[in-house]
Amino acid sequence: MNAHSAPTPATAGKSGPLRGQIRAPGDKSVSHRALIFGLLSCGTTEIGGLLEGADVLATARACAALGAKVDRLGEGHWRVQGVGVGALLNPTETLDFGNSGTGARLMMGVVAGHPVTARFDGDASLRKRPMKRVLDPLALVGARVLEGAEGGRLPLVLEGAREPLPVTFETPVPSAQVKSAVLLAGLAAPGETTVIEREATRDHTEAMLAYFGADVRVVPEGAHGRRITLVGRPELTPAKVMVPSDPSSAAFPLVAALLVKGSKLAIDGVMANPLRNGLVVTLREMGARIETLDERREGGEAVEDLVVQFSELTGVDVPAERAPSMIDEYPILAVAAAYARGVTRMRGLSELKVKESDRLAAVADMLRAAGVTFAIEGDDLIVEGRGPGSVPGGGTVTTHMDHRIAMSGLVLGLAAEAGMTVDDVAFIATSFPDFVPMMRRLGAEIA
Ligand SMILES: O=C(O)C1=C[C@@H](OP(=O)(O)O)[C@@H](O)[C@H](O)C1
Ligand SMILES: C=C(OP(=O)(O)O)C(=O)O
C-alpha cells in the first residue's frame, strides 16, 4: 500500500438484499488518542477494541519510537507502557505516518512540547496535505521547523520547545486535529493553555484528557463554538480504554443497506457522540429508516445499536454548521443523495479539499463516472438525485489514495444498474481492513 505497490482494483455489482448483523471496527480518532495518551502517562494503559488499521498502526510505531513500550496482546487488545509528560525519548528513526493526517498532526503537538527533535513523513497523499495549520500555533508554543518541504508540508523535521509556553489560540479552521495538537503541546507547558473554536469539532481529546486525570474545562463560545482550557503539566494516570465502534466506518454498510432494495442490517455498538453523528441526522431527514435500539454508554462514550432498512430517500439541504459533525461522511452522503428523489445541497465543504484527496473533486468525478448530474457552487455540492435503484453506473472511480472514496465507490456500485469499478481498494486498510469481506458476507457482489 505504498507508491510502489500495484493498485488493487475491484468491481461492485448490483446486489440482492444485504442482510445480517455486524459491528464496525474501533473508532479511528479514539484509537490514535488512546495510544498517544498511553505514551504520555507513566505506567500501563490497556486498550480494548483498538482499530488495527494502517493509520493507527503508524501511530503505535511512533509512540514506540518516542519511548513507549507498545504490545499487541490479542485482537484489538493492546498495552502501552508510557513514559509520562516531559519524558519522551529522541526518536532515532523517521516518524512515518503513512496516510494519516490525525497521527501526524497530533504527534506534532506531542513533540512540540518536548525537548526532542523528530522527522515526520508520510505517503504521497499525506505529503500534499497542509501542516501549517498546526505548525503556526506550535511555533507560538516554542517549536521550530528545522527542515521542511515548501509551504509546511511533509517531510519535515520538528524541534520541540525546551521551555514550552502556554498559549491561547483560536483555530482558523474547524479542525479537531489542530485543536488537539495545541492541547497536547499544552500538556507540557506550565500554566493554562486555551483553544477557542468557533464551531465545535469532535471532542475526543478533551474527553480523554479528563479521563486520564488532567484538569480541563470546556465552556460554550458563541453560537456554535467552545473554549477549552487545560492546566499544563498534570501527572496523567494510566487508564483502561474501551474503543467504541467507528460511526465514520459504520456509515458505509449503513448507506449500502439504505440503497440496496430489500436490505435489513443490524449495526451494533456505534459511537453516538453528537459531534460525530451528523450523517445519521441527515439521513433521517432524507427519510431513512434507521432505528435506534439500545442507547448506552461504553468506555465514556454514548453508543447505540442501529437497525437499518432499505429506504426511499428524498433530497435535503444540509446546513454548513453541520459539517464538523459529519466531515468524513460527505463522500458517502453524496452516494445516498444520488439515489434520492430530488436535489440534495451540501453546504460549506471547503475542508473536504484538504483530506486524503481533494474529496470535492474526487466525489464530482465519481458522480460523473456513474452518470449522476451534479454542480459545484463555491463550497457547495448539489446532487440531482435519480431515485431508488436508478443510477446508471458502469464507470470507474479513481480513489487518489483515499479510503473513503474507495468505499463510497463500491457502495455506489452495489445499487447501480451497471455496477461500478474502483481503481484501487488497497487504501481501505487505513481505516476498515475488513470492509470488503464484511460486505461480501452481507451479500454484496464485490469482485
Ligand atoms: O481529530 C481527528 O481524529 C479527526 C479530525 C478530522 O480532521 P480535521 O481536524 O482536519 O477536520 C477528521 O477529518 C479526521 O478523519 C479525524
Ligand atoms: C480525513 C481522514 O483522516 P486523516 O485526516 O487522519 O488522514 C479520514 O479518515 O477521512
Report phi then psi at 217, rounded to 5: -120, 135
28 is in an annotated binding site: yes
- How far apart CA 74 and CA 46 sit, in angstroms, is 11
Query: How would you classify residue 84: left for phi > 0, otherwise alpha for psi between -120 and 50, otherwise beta?
Result: left
**For the CA of 200, the nearest ligand:** 1
Residue 177 marked ligand-binding: yes
Q: How far apart are CA 433 and CA 437, in angstroms?
A: 9
Burial of residue 220 (number of CB atoms within 10 Å: 0-12, 13-18, 19+) = exposed
293 phi and psi angles, rounded to 5 deg: -100, -45
Q: For residues 420 and 370, is the Cβ–Cβ distance under 8 A?
A: yes
Q: How far is the CA of 20 from the centre of ligand 2 (A)?
A: 28
Domain spans in the chain, listed from the N-terminal domain onward: 10-26+245-446, 28-242
User: Residue 338 is placed in which grid cell?
Assistant: 444520488
Residue 328 designated active-site: yes
The pLDDT tens digits of the residues spanning 20-72 come to: 999 999 999 999 999 999 999 999 999 999 999 999 999 999 999 999 999 99
The 3-state DSSP class for residue 140 equals: helix
Give the domain 28-242 fold.
Answer: UDP-n-acetylglucosamine1-carboxyvinyl-transferase; Chain (3.65.10)
Structure ipTM: 0.99
Encode pLDDT of 188-234 as tens digits.
Answer: 999 999 999 999 999 999 999 999 999 999 999 999 999 999 999 99
For 182, the grid coordinates are 495545541
> Coil, strand, or helix at residue 226?
strand
| Ligand 1 binding pocket includes 351 (Cβ within 6 Å) | yes
Residue nearest to atom 5 of ligand 2 (CA): 101
CATH classification code of 10-26+245-446: 3.65.10.10
Q: What pLDDT is attached to residue 39?
A: 98
CB atoms within 10 A of CB 72: 14
Burial class (CB in 10 A: 0-12, 13-18, 19+), 378: exposed
Amino acid at 61: R
Same topology, domains 10-26+245-446 and 28-242? Answer is: yes
Q: Are 182 and 193 in contact (CB under 8 A)?
A: yes
